Amino acid sequence: MMEDRLVMSTVNGDPIVSAFAMIDLAKAKPKPKPAAPSFTATPISTTQVNLSWTKVSGASKYLVLVNGQSVQPKGLNKKATGDTISNLTPNTSYTFDVVYVKNGRKYPEASVTRSTLPLPQPTPPPAPNWTATAISSSVIEVKWSPEPGTTYVVSGLDYGAPGWQVINTFSSNYDADYIYGLDPGTTYWFNVTAQNSAGTTAGTPASATTPA
């Protein structure tokens, strides 16, 4: 848009019209801000989020912020089109921003808020895979395959009292129990139960007979 402006000057203090000037008002308008890069944030684990953005022509580098804090102070290479943010807290909301630098200036942030994946809910342990074997006339070995984070309870039927009685309890660092002081030529029944924070799973009772 062009507009005429009257230009005034003075001679001996008297105002004199000297000329008209053409002023291009369009040039005085501020330039529109560049658009923020197209940007997505995708949770890929309980502690990681994958960031992806479209490349901006002329950008010299990209800055990634998590909750307003830069995670790469020096920025990412101009060829970068994504980044993976790790060491986050499970099931927590984070705001991710991408800023690009062009001609030494920082341009608009693309902002996305996402939550990391929740931790999987614990489930009861599988039924123990175990055996009972007489290794002498007075000793029976009870052996199982341990799972991490699981407690194992060895029980005996009519062992010192009527019904099933707990003999020993073991962490997942152990895979066997040895039952001593048994009578020769006698059949004994045992069972192994697995326990964790989510519940208890009993194995199948089995017997072993000590040699006479």
Give the amino acid at 105.
Answer: R
Q: For the segment 52-66, what is each residue's pLDDT rounded down to a tens digit?
A: 998 888 889 999 999
Taken in order of first residue, the domains within the chain and their CATH numbers are 39-115 (2.60.40.10), 130-209 (2.60.40.10)
Q: For the segment 64-108, what is each residue's pLDDT rounded down to a tens digit?
A: 999 988 887 788 888 899 999 999 999 999 999 998 998 888 887
CB 100 within 8 A of CB 110: no
Q: For the segment 166-191, what is each residue's pLDDT rounded down to a tens digit?
A: 999 999 999 999 999 999 999 999 99
Residues above pLDDT 70, as percent of the chain: 84
**CA 10 to CA 16: how far, in whole Å?**
5
The pTM of the full predicted model, rounded to 2 decimals, is: 0.52
**CA 63 to CA 86: how far, in whole Å?**
16
Q: For the segment 2-34, what is each residue's pLDDT rounded down to a tens digit?
A: 444 444 555 555 554 444 444 454 555 666 666
Beta-bridge partners for 91: none
Q: For the segment 121-168, what is each residue's pLDDT rounded down to a tens digit?
A: 889 999 999 999 999 999 999 999 999 999 999 999 987 788 899 999
CB 112 within 8 A of CB 187: no
Q: For the segment 184-212, what is each residue's pLDDT rounded down to a tens digit?
A: 999 999 999 999 999 999 999 999 999 99
Looking at residue 17, its pLDDT comes to 46
> CA nearest 183: which of 132, 130, 134?
134
CB 59 within 8 A of CB 71: no
